[in-house]
Each structure stands twice: as structure tokens, then as C-alpha cells.
Amino acid sequence: MKITATHIGTATVLLEIGGLRLLTDPVFDPAPAEYRRDPVVLRSTVGPALAANRLPEVDGVLLSHDEHPDNLDATGRTLLAGRPVLTTVSGAARLGGGALGLAPWQTRTVTVGGRTVHVTGTPGEHGPVGDVTGFVVEVPGEEEAVYISGDTVHIPELDEIGRRFTIGTALLHLGAARIEAFGGGGLITMDAAQAVALTASLGARRVVPVHYTSWEHFTEGRRETVERFAAAGLANRLHWLTPGVAEVLD
């Protein structure tokens, strides 16, 4: 499957798939910024590579969850109105409007301007901090699909994805995020070791890391990911996007 991907920052990616533009986890506030919800304080360190007002027309939003500002911030919320938003079932209830909830393995069809994609929700576990979903995006007539993990650790249920779908490109939310106030500081997103295990299970040809920089609560970055994938003999699967630069992946 041919897609065009622009990594804007954190987990925010503009994807052109099957003729539709889909935006993931929109985060567009200027940085540095501080977000306080006692007892948690999240701090961003780097802003988006592309401002919200410079985006082309977006056909839909894939929102892994609505509760945390490193996945949906104030500016990002302004982009939800007037277009389909696929997210968690609980998130759709909170957001209202055009938001549609996806339970694990539930599929919804998005059609805009005569172009169609099918989006299936995938399981996720984001620690004790609320619901999360991932997504598998399919284009009718294409054999391969795109997987977007959302903010999750590697749980056994995710190994089912590789059995149900042929994944060509996987966008994995990494960063080994830890927040001491949540469950004693355990992982709430994948570290590099978990990403290696999930990559092997998915059988994906290409892995695009996102959600690994620009926030203080991320504890791993590019170096750790490169080292782990190399040690597992999977270095050739990694594909790093340059923030703000559109790249064709096929």
C-alpha cells in the first residue's frame, strides 16, 4: 500500500491513505508548555513541526484517546469539528459531535468525497490512565494495511493483529512513557524492547516510530530504539520520518 506520511510531532502524523487525509492524535500547542491535572504535571519541550493553520484539508481524525495533552491538546481540539473522529467508546461520549467510538476489533467505514477506507479498532492498555485504542486502516482492494498502535504497552491481545491483517507499515507509539503518580512509574507506552516483540508478531515490513520525543515523561528516544532493533536483527524494519517533511512510503 502506498501512503504519504508527515510526522508533525509526538504522535501527530498526517497520513494520506486511499486518497483520504487522516490526522492522528492532534497536538499543536506551542512549546514549551505545562499541563497540570493534580497530581500529574506534563511538560512539552518541542512544538509541532507544522502549525495547525498550515495543514491541508483533513478528512478525518484517528484519536487514540482524548484525555491527555500529549495526544490531544487545546489547539488539536479545534480540528475535530466538522469531520469524522474515530476514538475510544468512552472518548466519543465525552467529545460528542462527529466522534465515533471503536471497540476492539470493531470496524467502521469512512467515506469522504467518494473515497473510502475501513478502520478497525485494536486493543490497548495505557496503564491506569483511561481507555485507549489503536487502529488498522485498510483501503478496499489493497492487500496490505496500516497499523497505528496508539498509546499502549505490548499486551498479548496485540499479537492477534498479525493474524488478522497483513500489516505493511506500523506506526508505533514508543517513548517508554512513565509517570510516577500513575501506578508507581511503570510503563504506560512501549519501550524499545516491547516494540521489537510487537514488530516480530506483526510481521510488518516497515516500522515508523512516533511518540518518542518532545515531552519530559518520555524515558527512551531514538538511540534506545535503534540499539534494540539492531540487537534483534530488525534494524532494516525501522523508518524514521523527518518532522514536517511529507514522505511517500510504499
Residue ranges per domain, the chain?
A: 3-240
Contact residues for 157 (Cβ-Cβ < 8 A; gap 6+):
104, 123
pLDDT (0 to 100) of residue 183: 58
pLDDT (0 to 100) of residue 39: 83
Give the model confidence (pLDDT) of 36-48 as tens digits: 987 889 999 999 9
Spatial CA neighbour of 112 closest among 86, 88, 94: 86
Q: Is the pLDDT of residue 101 over 70?
A: yes
Cell numbers that stand for 61 in this block: 481524525
pLDDT (0 to 100) of residue 185: 72
Instruction: State what percent of residues in the chain have pLDDT above 90.
Output: 91
Query: Is residue 166 within 8 Å of residue 37, measured between CB atoms?
Result: no
* Mean pLDDT value of segment 99-115: 97
Query: What letter represents residue 225's amino acid?
Result: T
Of 54-58, 127-131, 233-237, give the lowest mean pLDDT range.
127-131
Q: Is the pLDDT of residue 34 over 80?
A: yes
CATH superfamily of the domain spanning 3-240: Ribonuclease Z/Hydroxyacylglutathione hydrolase-like (3.60.15.10)
* Mean pLDDT value of segment 55-78: 96
Give the model confidence (pLDDT) of 216-239 as tens digits: 999 999 999 999 999 999 999 999
Spatial CA neighbour of 42 closest among 34, 32, 54, 52: 34
Q: Is the pLDDT of residue 53 over 70?
A: yes
Specify the pTM: 0.96
Pairwise pLDDT comparison (225 vs 127), residue with the higher score: 225
* Mean pLDDT value of segment 83-109: 96
Residues comprising the chain, all counted = 250
Classify 172 in phi/psi space as left (phi over 0), alpha (psi -120 to 50) or beta.
beta
pLDDT (0 to 100) of residue 98: 84
Give the model confidence (pLDDT) of 160-203 as tens digits: 999 999 999 999 999 999 987 765 678 999 999 999 999 999 99
pLDDT (0 to 100) of residue 182: 64
